[in-house]
Copies of this chain bind each other. A is one copy, B any other.
Amino acid sequence: MNHTDTPSLHAASAPLDEDSPWPPPQQRAQQREAKRQAVLSAAAQLFNERGFHATSLDDIAARLGVSKPTLYYYVKNKEEILLGCVRQGLQLMLDGIEDSRCGGGSALDQLTTCMQVYARIVTQDFGMCLIRVGDEQVSADNRGELRRIKAAIDHEFRRLVTQGVEEGSLAPCDPKMTAFVIGGALSWIGRWYQPGGEYTPEQIASQCLQTLLGGVLRRDPPASSH
């Protein structure tokens, strides 16, 4: 019985003792990555609950039921953990935007999908961390990287708004400012959303999209109720 799905790995390395208490290398790498992910997830939850500075490595270790020295096997320090969390939040957004682009359709279709993706991700641990922990918490070197990725996401929204105006589905507007308004309203969800609260992430996304796309003002003439 094999410990791995990739027989070629075995062929390339020394024969393994099937009774060895150590798993084969590929499985060890997978386990290590799974554990690093668990560290990042626990950290993101704590950062979101208490703030970055109020969370210690001891808190993260305690939530995982391990010792602090164990954490150092997977991460160097708290800033590296935060960067890992924020990078994953950003990557989820980039992936979602890429999927919506591949899905095709009108600019309005793609913009709607991007807004749904964005609204969903900011209610999840890594996306919420991206919103709640400001860029100024990371060192200047890493801040540049985060801002570049955020700018890329913002530009994608701006591009879709511009195309939407061109295709006639969106009202003529300043695409940069409109993208800021959309991104702002959706980002803010990550600040006020409470998991298990009154609204599900799906309800929030649906209502926010409706308000942002349709606006607040009544479209048909008001009924004469008096």
Residues on A lying within 8 angstroms of B by beta carbon are 49-51, 53-54, 108, 132, 134, 136-137, 161, 164, 167-171, 173-174, 177-178, 180-189, 191-192, 199, 204, 207-208, 210-219, 222-223, 225
Q: Check B134–A171 contact: CB distance below 8 A.
A: no
B residues less than 8 Å from A183 (CB atoms): 188
Name the one of B54, B171, B188, B192 contacting A216, with C-beta atoms under 8 angstroms. Answer: B171
Q: Check B216–A50 contact: CB distance below 8 A.
A: no
B residues less than 8 Å from A218 (CB atoms): 168-171
B residues less than 8 Å from A187 (CB atoms): 184, 188, 191
CA gap between A162 and B164 in the complex, in Å = 31
CA gap between A187 and B191 in the complex, in Å = 11
B residues less than 8 Å from A178 (CB atoms): 207, 211, 216
B residues less than 8 Å from A132 (CB atoms): 134
Q: Check A134–B214 contact: CB distance below 8 A.
A: no
CA gap between A183 and B225 in the complex, in Å = 29
B residues less than 8 Å from A161 (CB atoms): 216
CA gap between A178 and B209 in the complex, in Å = 10
Q: Check B216–A216 contact: CB distance below 8 A.
A: no
Name the one of B169, B170, B208, B222 contacting A177, with C-beta atoms under 8 angstroms. Answer: B208
In the complex, what's the smallest C-beta–C-beta distance from A194 to chain B, in angstroms? 12
User: Which chain B residue shows the least CB distance to A182?
Assistant: B216
B residues less than 8 Å from A169 (CB atoms): 217-218, 222
Given contacts A199-B177, A204-B177, contact A171 B51 (CB under 8 A): no
